[in-house]
C-alpha cells in the first residue's frame, strides 16, 4: 500500500534512508525537514510505502503553489527513486510502483528523475513517456576517486589561481548575503523567475546554517583577493554522494573562471570526506537558450552523462502555456508526434526568443 500525506519527520524514515542502497541526498529526511519550510508556499508531501503495517519505503513529492498556473492545477514534482529499506528487494515492488504511477498520472505533474541509482527507471520511463511532454534533461556524475582534470580545465583553474581566487567554506551572515546576491544575479540572467523566484535572505540564513550544523549541507564559495564572492554552491551530501543544490556564478566570476575553481573545491571536499560521487544536479540538453547551452557545455566536462529526462503530463487545456514556458529553456518533444513536427516546435521557439 502507498499512502500520500503531508511530510512529517519520522524516525522510521531516518532508519530506511541510512540503510537503503538507493539513498540520495535530496531524499534525506534531515534535509527534507528543513526544505519543507524553505520552499513555502509550495507544499512538501510524502508517499509512504507500507508492508505488513510497517513503513518500508518513501517518496518525496512537491505540490507547487507559487504561480497562477500552479495554483489552479497544482502540479506535482516527483523526486525519484523511491527510498526502500535494506530488507526490501525492488523486484517485489514493481507492480505496486506501477499502479502508483498510473494513479497519480491523472494529475498534472512534472517528474524529476534526479537519482542515477534509480532501480525503477524502466518502469518509470514506460509509464510516464506515454502521452507526456518530454524534456531532455541530463546529469553529469563525477567518480571522485578516478577524476582527473584534463589539460584545458587545468589551464582554466590555473588562470583562476592567477586572479587570486580561493575557496571559503565558513558560513557567516556576510558569506550568505554575498552568495544570495550572486545567485539572484544568476537567476535574473537566465530568466528563471518562474521556477526559481528571487532568493530571500531570511530563509537562507536558517536553511544553510541548520543543514551545515547537521552535516548534510555545505556552502562553498569562490572569493577573489578582495573577499568578494564570484561563485558559490550549496551542496547536499551523504556518505556516498554530494549533490549541487544551489549554484551561481556572477558575470565577473565567469570572466575569471570562478566556476571551474569552485567545482575543484567541490571534488576536493568529496575526496576529503570519503564521498564516492559528485552529482552536478542536472541541466537541460539541446536548450535554445545560450545560457543553458553554456551551462551544459560546462557541466559535461566534469563527469559521465546520465539521462534523467523529465516528463510533464498535462491536459490539453494547459498544454499551450506549458509548452510556451518550457520552450524558452528546453527542447520539448510532443507525445506521439513525428520528428519533423518536433523540429518545427524547436525552430519556432528559437525564432520567438
* Residue appearing with cell numbers 524534456: 135
CA distance 216 to 224: 27
- Please give the distance of CA 351 from its chain centroid, rounded to a whole number: 29
User: Which fold would CATH assign to domain 140-306?
Assistant: Aminopeptidase (3.40.630)
**Prediction pTM value:** 0.84
Rg (CA), the chain: 20
- pLDDT value at residue 320: 76
- pLDDT value at residue 270: 95
CA distance 82 to 59: 5
Q: Residue-wise pLDDT tens for the chain (353 aa)? A: 888 889 988 888 999 999 888 888 989 999 999 999 888 878 898 988 888 888 888 888 888 776 655 556 667 777 766 788 777 777 777 777 777 777 776 666 666 666 677 777 776 676 666 677 888 889 899 999 989 998 999 999 999 999 999 999 999 989 998 998 898 888 888 766 545 555 666 677 888 999 999 999 999 999 999 999 999 999 999 999 999 988 999 999 999 999 999 999 999 999 999 999 999 888 888 888 888 888 899 999 999 998 888 877 776 766 777 777 777 778 888 775 443 333 333 333 333 33
- pLDDT value at residue 31: 94
Helix 29-38 × helix 201-213 angle, to 10°: 170
- pLDDT value at residue 313: 74
- pLDDT value at residue 347: 34
In the DSSP assignment, the letter for residue 200 is P
> Using an 8 Å Cβ cutoff, are 138 and 282 in contact?
yes
Same fold, 2-131 and 140-306: yes
User: Which fold would CATH assign to domain 2-131?
Assistant: Aminopeptidase (3.40.630)
CA distance 269 to 277: 11
CA distance 49 to 59: 8
CA distance 86 to 15: 10
> Using an 8 Å Cβ cutoff, are 175 and 168 in contact?
yes
Domain boundaries, the chain: 2-131, 140-306
Amino acid at each position: 500500500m502507498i499512502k500520500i500525506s503531508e511530510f512529517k519527520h519520522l524516525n522510521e524514515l531516518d532508519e530506511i534512508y541510512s540503510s537503503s542502497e538507493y539513498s540520495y541526498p535530496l531524499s534525506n529526511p534531515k534535509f527534507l525537514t528543513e526544505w519543507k519550510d524553505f520552499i513555502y508556499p509550495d507544499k512538501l508531501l510524502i508517499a509512504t510505502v507500507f508492508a505488513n503495517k510497517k513503513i518500508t519505503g518513501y517518496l518525496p513529492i512537491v505540490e507547487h503553489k507559487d504561480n497562477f498556473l500552479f495554483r489552479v492545477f497544482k502540479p506535482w514534482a516527483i523526486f525519484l527513486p523511491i527510498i526502500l529499506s535494506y530488507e526490501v528487494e525492488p523486484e517485489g515492488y514493481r507492480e505496486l510502483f506501477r499502479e502508483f504511477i498510473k494513479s497519480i498520472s491523472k494529475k498534472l505533474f512534472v517528474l524529476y528523475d534526479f537519482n542515477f541509482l534509480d532501480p525503477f527507471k524502466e518502469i518509470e520511463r514506460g509509464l510516464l513517456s506515454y502521452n507526456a511532454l518530454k524534456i531532455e534533461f541530463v546529469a553529469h556524475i563525477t567518480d571522485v576517486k578516478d577524476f582527473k582534470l584534463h589539460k584545458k580545465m587545468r589551464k582554466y583553474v590555473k588562470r583562476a589561481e592567477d586572479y587570486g581566487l580561493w575557496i571559503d567554506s565558513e558560513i557567516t551572515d556576510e558569506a550568505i548575503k554575498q552568495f544570495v546576491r550572486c545567485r539572484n544575479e544568476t537567476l535574473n540572467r537566465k530568466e528563471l523567475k518562474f521556477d526559481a523566484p528571487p532568493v530571500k535572505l531570511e530563509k537562507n540564513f536558517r536553511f544553510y546554517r541548520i543543514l551545515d550544523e547537521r552535516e548534510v549541507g555545505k556552502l562553498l564559495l569562490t572569493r577573489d583577493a578582495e573577499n568578494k564572492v564570484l561563485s558559490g554552491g550549496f551542496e547536499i551530501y551523504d556518505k556516498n554522494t554530494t549533490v549541487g543544490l544551489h549554484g551561481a556564478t556572477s558575470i565577473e566570476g565567469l570572466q575569471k573562471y570562478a566556476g571551474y575553481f569552485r567545482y575543484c573545491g567541490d571534488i576536493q571536499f568529496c575526496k576529503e570526506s570519503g564521498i564516492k560521487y559528485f552529482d552536478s544536479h542536472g541541466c537541460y540538453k539541446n536548450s535554445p537558450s545560450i545560457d543553458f547551452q553554456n551551462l551544459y557545455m560546462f557541466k559535461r566536462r566534469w563527469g559521465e552523462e546520465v539521462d534523467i529526462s523529465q516528463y510533464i503530463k498535462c491536459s490539453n487545456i494547459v498544454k499551450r502555456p506549458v509548452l510556451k514556458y518550457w520552450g524558452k529553456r528546453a527542447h520539448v518533444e510532443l507525445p506521439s508526434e513525428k520528428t519533423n513536427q518536433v523540429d518545427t516546435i524547436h525552430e519556432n521557439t528559437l525564432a520567438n526568443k
